[in-house]
Structure 1
Amino acid sequence: MNKGRTVINVIIVLLSGLTLPVACTRNFESINTNPYDLYDDDLQGNFKLIGDPLVQAMLNIYVSNDVSVTQLQQNLMGDVFSGYMMTPSPFQDNRNNITYDLLDNWNDDAWLTAYGNVMPNCRFVMDKCRGKYPDFYAWAQIIRVLAMHRISDIYGPVIYTRYAMINADRSIDYDSQEAAYNAFFNDLDSAITTLSNYVPTATSNRFKNFDLSYDGDYVKWIKLANTLRLRLALRISEVSPARARKEGEAALNQEYGILNSIDENFTINIAPLTHPLNVICNSWNDIRMGASMESFLCGYHDPRISSYFIPADARNGIYRGIRNGITITSKDAYSGFSKLALQPSRIQLCTAAEAWFLKAEAALYSWKGAGDAQDNYEKGIYTSFKQYDLSAAYSKYISNDTSTPKPYSDPKNPVNNVPSGSPYLSNCTVKWVHNAPVHEKLERIITQKWIAMFPDGQEAWSEFRRTGYPKLFPVVVNNSGGKIPTYTFIRRIPFIQFEYATNLAGVQRAVATLKGEDNGGTRLWWDKP
């Protein structure tokens, strides 16, 4: 880990304060002096002055150019909390977020990045394009939801509809998470409608020179927005079932539908940069395979394992993961465990495989347009296998009705073992069982979706909190002082101290909308016990 965390955060705040608003609490007036500012005539031609801000917004949904920020924005948060990965490094003498002793300087990068590099760029484009360039306006709406639903799923309430709206007391109001989700749905609906109107008449694509994912293809952006709408609909299905069904069915039955093939996977091209995980894993040696991933992938004899990780013992092909939240005496103790396989220079944020699993779950609830749950489930697995050129192994895998996640054994410390018969081990098999109860079908769907979404730990963590699946191993060491119960896992990240220092009244009103105190044990609005 980069040791200059505090300095980096201060620099982010200071530099952003010169041009774009940070943390939504100061310098909103300076938006009018944005260096991207332009006159209407400048929008003509190549559209660079409104395209470039959206490039920056896309590159910061998952930070690509400052790995020290990515490590705290995503890797030592969602990637670990999801069970995908674990660090071999005993940061802060094992008293850190991994052992539930939440550190203020670990909690702020996701927030500061969103409000320093995503929200201001999207707002700028939307302000300049409103009523003039509806396609760019719609594109900014989708990018904003892509980024901000992830932030809401980390902290809960966020500053979204009230962004840049300063109260008389200089505070800024948050949206409750319910209000934020309603706004996400409204933005997606608006964007889908706008872009759909462009498709039949578009003679040239103005996104092309700035689109880091779909090469300016309007239809693929519509499909992504529909998939995102379905994702968020299922996320609120326990707390707002009527709204969830309405939004989910709108996505499923929209003219262009959701993602369905691997060429429609939403990945952000960051070349010539390498994926931040390559640096964190191979240059810094700060991340390795998680124990839960070892249990599921090895237990299922899942051929994707070699696409995800490298054997700890290359001679015998043995994969080893580290259990989350354990006592680590030194970095050397676990550095020899399985590294991540080399990641491409593309950030994966939504795949067609995920879309099929979303559709499978929607089918469990008989949502119109969802089709058959088993068919969708199996297509989800097939699509994931195809993504990694493993189609030939699909038939054997999908028919496996005996293999289950394997017990975990830590050769360094048996205290961390998860033996056979443990309540933390799942009995879920791969093969679909038509007459199984709904909860068992849901476990199969979410478990396979969890495997397929790798390495996006943020989304996997959200789905684990929502459903309780897949079954993950709880931490061994819990330094939360009782704030985060070990067996219910961490549920959210507290609001950042910068907000408490500069927007106290706003934060206090946001905390009042939570289900409890501002700590890691309080469940989000959609997170129903």
Structure 2
Amino acid sequence: MKKNNIYRAVTACTFASAVLFSMPSCTDGFHEANRPGTGASAEDLNRDNYMTSSFIVQMENEAFPEQENTYQMNQDLIGNYLSRYMTYANNGFAEKNFARLNAPNGWVRYPFKDSMPKTVSAFKEIARVTNGQGLNYAWALILRAQSFMRLTDMYGPIPIGADPNDGNAYSSQEEVYKSLIADLNKATGIISPLVAANPDLTVSAEHDKVYQGKFAKWLKYANSLKLRIAIRIRFVAPALAKQLGEQAVQDGVITSNEDNCTIAYTPNGQYKTSVEWGDSRACADLECYLAGYNDPRLAKFFKPTEDVGPRTIIGCRAAAKIGNKATADKAYSAANINQNSEGVWLTASEMAFCRAEGALAGWSNMGGTAQSLYEEGVRLSFEQWGAGDATSYLADNTSTEADYVDPISEYGGNVSAVSNITIKWDNAATDDQKLERLATQKWIAMFPNGQEGWCEIRRTGYPKVFPLAQPTDYSIQVANRIPFDIDEATNNKDNYLKAVQLLNGADDYATKMWWQRR
């Protein structure tokens, strides 16, 4: 997208958000509406499905953003760049962006002013129509948990309506996470008996772009989201994480690629940003791990460059000083994706790596050892991408990350490898080496979901990444968070000041998430 189109999108959506915020707070009544639900009769479901279908679609569009503007602003510019999966090739982005830790406020505020009110307004309508009960309410709880988890992992504290007297008050990230766990437990409590009675239960298939109304799959997804949360918080809340993770696996997480969470939206968001607009290109970090490992997924993830360069597939360094978009587009590789490809948001491979880490942490009944589940994660990823057999790859105990050679030295420049971690599992390795090996392969396997890749870098410190190509005002190489909307300091001053206190640090890119390990 051209730069001026981004700002038009921001302006238009900000206006829409302003309309929403002129009503009572979009988070008012969050907990009041969140009362326990019960099973619904067929008559109730038919009535509720008709009335809630458009709101479910709206919630899916925010939970799994694929529409071009929504994808670019909520996913590509933030998570994809900070995960070191993609980076900008548009010289209009080169001075101020998230990779350089100085993004313009129009970018910073977009998820808060656009995605959050859309999610909450749709949820409130569903809660009203269903009276906070039944299958559709449970579905909405799952979708809100997915959306709010992404938002809190961007900003830290966010307003979730926990204060009955002030819907604009922020909750700490710890409080947000515990609320999401409660929501998912409530949702699975509603769905589980219905699916147990009817494993083929299908509702609103024509409106569900993810699982076509198959609630056995939504149940697995909700349990998988619990396991993702458990792993996220395991260093800061080990007892809660263990309990939640063990229960999630027992109840049933995604273990097969046929149950992966993908959404059909044409045109695919990454196709627009990378292929059609040419705003994003492969990041050097991901290219060099894949190239160094002789990983066949490299050609599955990215297209060959248009120009003849030192390699067929070439990434660009994060925070590069892009001088000309047309030149950068030809020199660096676009995503290997079609306009009708489905967006990928949670996979069996990720869940295998989560269970591997659970086993590494001493959790019970993960379904295998840390080694066997690590290897299963790699195999599932190879299967997902049609990359062939992973046996020889998993036996490789010598290959490491490659050095980076830039075809346009004045943009990013060359840089030596920063990691010597190999592929083959080593039970004699230290716990930290095991974590690095696991986290690096998990990071590779989660492509193209940059939000989760970014979370893994922050949570574990792995994979190790190249230094930024241009200096910033910070000593860190990857943002720990993005700042709050600057307008909050004026329009919601008292709550903003309390939110900064909840951060336990400054309102900047360096302050860490509650759940970060280091």
* Match of residue 276 from structure 1: 269
Unaligned 5+ segments in structure 1 are 30-40
Residue-pair matches, total: 500
**Does 1:383 pair with 2:372?**
no
Unaligned 5+ segments in structure 2 are 30-42
**Does 1:61 pair with 2:55?**
no
Matched AA of 1:210:
H
Residue 518 of structure 1 and its aligned partner are, at CA, apart by 0.5
Rounded Cα–Cα distance in structure 2 between residues aligned with 1:306 and 1:92: 27
CA contact (8 A) 2:161 2:169 kept: no
TM-score (norm 1): 0.88
Matched AA of 1:111:
F
Residue 397 of structure 1 and its aligned partner are, at CA, apart by 1.1
* Match of residue 226 from structure 1: 223
Rounded Cα–Cα distance in structure 1 between residues aligned with 2:129 and 2:496: 30
Where do residues 199-210 of structure 1 align in structure 2 (5 Å cutoff)?
199-202=195-198, 204-210=201-207
* Match of residue 137 from structure 2: 137
CA contact (8 A) 2:401 2:419 kept: yes
Question: Identity, % of aligned pairs?
Answer: 31
Rounded Cα–Cα distance in structure 2 between residues aligned with 1:413 and 1:204: 57
1:86 partner SS:
strand
CA contact (8 A) 1:235 1:526 kept: yes
Rounded Cα–Cα distance in structure 1 between residues aligned with 2:379 and 2:256: 10
Residue 326 of structure 1 and its aligned partner are, at CA, apart by 2.1
* Match of residue 318 from structure 1: 312
Rounded Cα–Cα distance in structure 2 between residues aligned with 1:315 and 1:502: 52
Where do residues 254-293 of structure 1 align in structure 2 (5 Å cutoff)?
254=251, 257-270=252-265, 273-293=266-286
**Does 1:127 pair with 2:128?**
yes
Rounded Cα–Cα distance in structure 1 between residues aligned with 2:249 and 2:22: 36
Residue 210 of structure 1 and its aligned partner are, at CA, apart by 2.3
1:317-343, Cα deviation, whole Å (9 max, x unpaired): 611110001222222342221111024
Rounded Cα–Cα distance in structure 2 between residues aligned with 1:232 and 1:27: 22
Residue 130 of structure 1 and its aligned partner are, at CA, apart by 3.3
Q: Relative to 1, partners in 2 of residues 1:408 and 1:93: Cα closer, same or farther, differing over 3 Å?
A: closer
Matched AA of 1:218:
F
Q: Relative to 1, partners in 2 of residues 1:128 and 1:207: Cα closer, same or farther, differing over 3 Å?
A: same
* Match of residue 398 from structure 1: 394
* Match of residue 91 from structure 1: 92
Of 308, 319, 322, the residue aligned with 1:328 is 322
Residue 416 of structure 1 and its aligned partner are, at CA, apart by 4.1
Q: Relative to 1, partners in 2 of residues 1:315 and 1:332: Cα closer, same or farther, differing over 3 Å?
A: closer
* Match of residue 504 from structure 1: 493
2:391 partner SS:
helix
Rounded Cα–Cα distance in structure 1 between residues aligned with 2:105 and 2:349: 36
Rounded Cα–Cα distance in structure 2 between residues aligned with 1:85 and 1:449: 17
Matched AA of 1:208:
A
* Match of residue 334 from structure 2: 339
Matched AA of 1:335:
D
1:85-137, Cα deviation, whole Å (9 max, x unpaired): 11122225623333222311111222223223212112221232135x41111
1:420-446, Cα deviation, whole Å (9 max, x unpaired): 4x5xx2111111112111111111111
Rounded Cα–Cα distance in structure 1 between residues aligned with 2:183 and 2:250: 18
**Does 1:485 pair with 2:475?**
yes
Where do residues 155-304 of structure 1 align in structure 2 (5 Å cutoff)?
155-162=155-162, 165=164, 167=166, 172-202=168-198, 204-254=201-251, 257-270=252-265, 273-304=266-297
Matched AA of 2:87:
M
CA contact (8 A) 1:409 1:416 kept: no
Rounded Cα–Cα distance in structure 1 between residues aligned with 2:139 and 2:453: 25
Moved more, 461-470 or 317-326: 317-326
**Does 1:358 pair with 2:347?**
no
Residue 464 of structure 1 and its aligned partner are, at CA, apart by 0.6
1:119-168, Cα deviation, whole Å (9 max, x unpaired): 2112221232135x4111111111001111000000001122438x553x
2:390 partner SS:
helix
CA contact (8 A) 2:152 2:158 kept: yes
CA contact (8 A) 2:285 2:317 kept: yes
Matched AA of 2:108:
N
Where do residues 340-489 of structure 1 align in structure 2 (5 Å cutoff)?
340-343=335-338, 344-370=340-366, 371-391=368-388, 393-413=389-409, 416-420=412-416, 425-480=418-473, 484-487=474-477, 489=478
1:349 partner SS:
strand
Matched AA of 1:86:
T
Q: Relative to 1, partners in 2 of residues 1:528 and 1:445: Cα closer, same or farther, differing over 3 Å?
A: closer
* Match of residue 484 from structure 2: 495
1:446-482, Cα deviation, whole Å (9 max, x unpaired): 11111111111011001110001111112121333xx
* Match of residue 82 from structure 1: 83
Residue 367 of structure 1 and its aligned partner are, at CA, apart by 0.5
Matched AA of 2:232:
R
* Match of residue 514 from structure 1: 503
Matched AA of 1:323:
R
1:209 partner SS:
helix
Q: Relative to 1, partners in 2 of residues 1:86 and 1:24: Cα closer, same or farther, differing over 3 Å?
A: farther
TM-score (norm 2): 0.90
Matched AA of 1:250:
Q
2:345 partner SS:
strand
Matched AA of 2:279:
D
Moved more, 205-214 or 175-184: 205-214
Q: Relative to 1, partners in 2 of residues 1:15 and 1:325: Cα closer, same or farther, differing over 3 Å?
A: closer
**Does 1:103 pair with 2:104?**
yes
Matched AA of 2:83:
S
* Match of residue 36 from structure 1: none
CA contact (8 A) 2:481 2:513 kept: yes
Q: What is the root-mean-square deviation of aligned Cα atoms in Å?
A: 2.5
Rounded Cα–Cα distance in structure 1 between residues aligned with 2:353 and 2:175: 26
Matched AA of 1:528:
R
CA contact (8 A) 1:60 1:113 kept: no
2:63 partner SS:
coil
Matched AA of 1:494:
P
Matched AA of 1:275:
N
